[in-house]
Each structure stands twice: as C-alpha cells, then as structure tokens.
C-alpha cells in the first residue's frame, strides 16, 4: 500500500472515532473522467459539512502541482469553490509529511482557503512547493496517538 492510501486509511479511522458521521468518496482512479472533490465528507454533531482532501508527501514541502494549483479547474479551486457555495460548508486539506513512513510522520489540517492564500504567497515568491513549516504555522497539528491520528479538534471547530 502506498503512503497516500495509508494516510487515507489513518484519516478514515480518525473520522470514525469522532462524533457525527463520515463517508469516503470513492475515486475513479487516474483514468476516470470524474473529478473527485475530496477523499471524505464529515458531518459533525453541529450543522456543518466538511470536505476533506488527504495529501501525503515525502520530504519537508508539498509540491503545488499535486493539488492542481494554477489549473483553472484544479482540485484546490474546486475545494474553495465548494466551500464558498454555502455558509455551512468547510473544505479542508489534511497533509501528512514523512521522511521514513514507519518512524517519522506528521499531519496537519488546514482550510482550503488558507492553503490557497499560502500557495499564492509561495508561488509569488517563485516557489513551486509549500514548506511544511508554513502549513504547521497556519494549520491544526493532528497528533499521532494509539496507532492513528487524533482529529478530535474537528468536532469543535
């Protein structure tokens, strides 16, 4: 299993541990004509819907091309557009950074809008990726506990 699918499995377990309900949005694979919005939908006990996209990357920065930055109909723009359509929608991106998947991994959750502003700033500075330290400053750290990530703070956001 690749690191991205492993991270999605960790996020799935984390969401199932929360109050409320969650659902995996199945993708059609890389050859599908359907453009998937996100990996998961989560409905906490209060009236709101979260779309959560999972991204796992080796290293200390996230390449902008991996979320369709700069593409007219790229995933980042679809997420922020979906968020803007209704006041009770939140689009989030869950990032996992690792150097050795078995030993060293860190996860953060950040709103798609906040990440888009961060991506714009990095791009305007001539970068093609967003450093982990920037996502860590603006995002919510998800601690690794009991063999999985803790997303409990989503219940009260």
Domain ranges of the chain: 3-156
- Fold type of domain 3-156: Trna Endonuclease; Chain: A, domain 1 (3.40.1350)
Across the chain, what does the average pLDDT equal?
A: 89
Half-sphere exposure (Cβ direction) of 140: Cα atoms closer than 13 Å? 17
Average pLDDT of the residues in 87-91: 93
Residue 70's pLDDT is: 86
Identify the helix (H) or strand (E) that includes residue 84. Answer: helix 75-84
Q: Judge whether 54 and 40 are in contact, CB under 8 Å.
A: yes
pLDDT tens profile 97-156: 998 766 778 999 999 999 999 999 999 999 999 999 999 999 999 988 877 888 887 766
């Amino acid at each position: 299993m690749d690191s991205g699918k492993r991270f999605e499995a960790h996020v799935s377990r984390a969401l199932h541990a929360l109050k409320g309900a969650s659902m995996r949005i199945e993708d059609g694979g890389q050859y599908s004509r359907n453009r998937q919005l996100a990996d998961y939908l989560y409905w906490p006990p209060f009236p709101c819907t979260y779309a959560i996209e999972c991204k796992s990357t080796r290293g200390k920065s996230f390449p902008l091309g991996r979320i369709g930055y700069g593409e007219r109909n790229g995933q980042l723009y679809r997420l922020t557009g979906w968020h803007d359509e209704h006041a009770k929608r939140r689009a989030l991106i869950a990032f996992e950074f690792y150097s050795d998947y078995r030993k060293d991994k860190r996860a953060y959750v950040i709103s798609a809008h906040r990440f888009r502003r961060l991506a714009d700033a990095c791009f305007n500075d001539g970068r093609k990726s967003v450093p982990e330290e920037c996502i860590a400053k603006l995002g919510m750290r998800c601690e690794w506990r009991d063999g999985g990530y803790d997303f409990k703070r989503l219940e009260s956001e």
